[in-house]
Amino acid sequence: MTATESAHLLAGKTALVSGVANRWSIATAIARAYRAHGASLVLTYEGERTKPEVDKLAQELGQSVVAQCDVSADQSIADLHGLLSESGMRLNALVHSIAFARKEELSGKYLATSRAGFALALDVSAYSLVALCRELAPLFSDAASVVALTYLGSVRAVPNYNIMGVAKAALESSVRYLAADLGQMGGVRVNAISAGPIKTASARAVGGFTSILSDVAAKSPLRRNAVADDVANAAVFLASDLSCAITGHVLYVDAGYNIMGIT
C-alpha cells in the first residue's frame, strides 16, 4: 500500500529529520515518507557540504524548513533551538539519523580502537541523541515521538563494525533512559529502528559492507535486504499515533535477519 492509498498518518504534525546527506540517506527516505503522510518538515544538515542536497530535497517536498546543526557542537544545537523557538515551532517528531566513526576504525580488529576514535564515535553517534532531546524538549508537543537509527552490531560482534557497534549499544541504552525521562514530560516517546544493511555513504565506510549485504539477503527469513523505504514506513508508524503505547523499544526492520541462529 502506498502513502497515497493509505491514511495520512502524520497530518498536522511537524517532524524534524536530521541526517540527510544525499538521496541514498535513510533520512531522505524518512523525510519523503513523512511528507507523503502529511507532515511538515524541519530538515537539518551537518555543514556546507551537505546543504545543497538538503535544499534540493526541501524544495522538492515543500513545507520544509532547512537548518544547520552539527551535533558535535553544543552551540550549533542551541542555535537550532533558538531558530525554531523564534518561529514558535512545536515538534511532534524528531528523527536522529546520524552516525560517524573514523574509517580506519571500521575495519580490522576492534582491539585497535584509539581513545580519540572511541570518544568521537560515541559523541557524534550516541551522545548527540541526548543533547538533541535535552535542547529540543521544550519545543516538543505532548506525546511527541523521537526515533533513532541503530544496527544489529550493537548486540552482536559484526566484523569491522567495531566502535560503531559500541556506539549503537550506547545509543540503544540512551533510548531506554530517555524514554524513562521524557515519558514523564508530556508523554514523549523514544524508540529506535534497527535497520538491516542498506547501501549508503556511511555504510560503505564499513569494511566488507558488500559481503554483509549479500549474506543478509541469502540468510534472512525474507531472503532479501530491507531497503530505506521499509525503514521509512516503520518510522512513519513510530511517529504516528498508531504507536502511542510503544516507547523505549528497538524495532528491527531487517527482513528478520536478527532472529536467526546458525545460518
Q: Is residue 26 close enough to count as binding ligand NAD by CB under 6 A? A: yes
Is 151 catalytic? The answer is: yes
Alpha-carbon span 240 to 145, nearest angstrom: 8
CB-wise, 88 or 125, nearer to ligand NAD? 125
Write down the residue that cell numbers 512545536 correspond to.
90
Tell me the three state secondary structure of residue 25: coil
Please tell me whether residue 251 adopts helix, strand or coil conformation.
strand
Cβ proximity to ligand NAD, 122 vs 124, nearer residue: 124
Q: How far is the CB of 2 from ligand NAD (least distance, A)?
A: 22
Q: Between 8 and 219, whose beta carbon lies closer to ligand NAD?
A: 219
In whole angstroms, give the CA distance from residue 259 to residue 263: 10
Euclidean distance between CA atoms 100 and 181, whole angstroms: 26
Mark the segment that binds ligand NAD (CB under 6 A) among 7-15, 131-139, 148-156, 244-252: 148-156
On the 0-12 / 13-18 / 19+ scale of CB atoms within 10 A, 24 is middle
Residue 97 binds ligand NAD (CB under 6 A): yes
In the annotation, is 161 catalytic?
A: yes
Please tell me the count of residues contacting ligand NAD according to CB under 6 A.
Answer: 27
Tell me: does residue 149 bind ligand NAD (CB under 6 A). yes
Answer for which of 46, 135, 172, 230 binds ligand NAD (CB under 6 A) is 46
Decide if 203 contacts 160 (C-beta within 8 A). Answer: no
For 155, residues 6+ apart whose C-beta sits below 8 A from its C-beta are: 169, 172
Residue of 34, 45, 127, 151 marked active site: 151
Contact code string over 170-209 relative to ligand NAD, x by CB under 6 A:
-------------------------x-xx-xxxx------
Q: Which is nearer to ligand NAD, 126 or 144 (CB)?
A: 126
Nearest to 250 by CA among 182, 193, 176: 193
DSSP 121-136: HHIIIIIHHHHHHHHH
Active site residues: 151, 161
The site for ligand NAD (CB under 6 A) is made up of 19-21, 25-27, 46, 50, 69-72, 97-100, 124, 149-151, 195, 197-198, 200-203
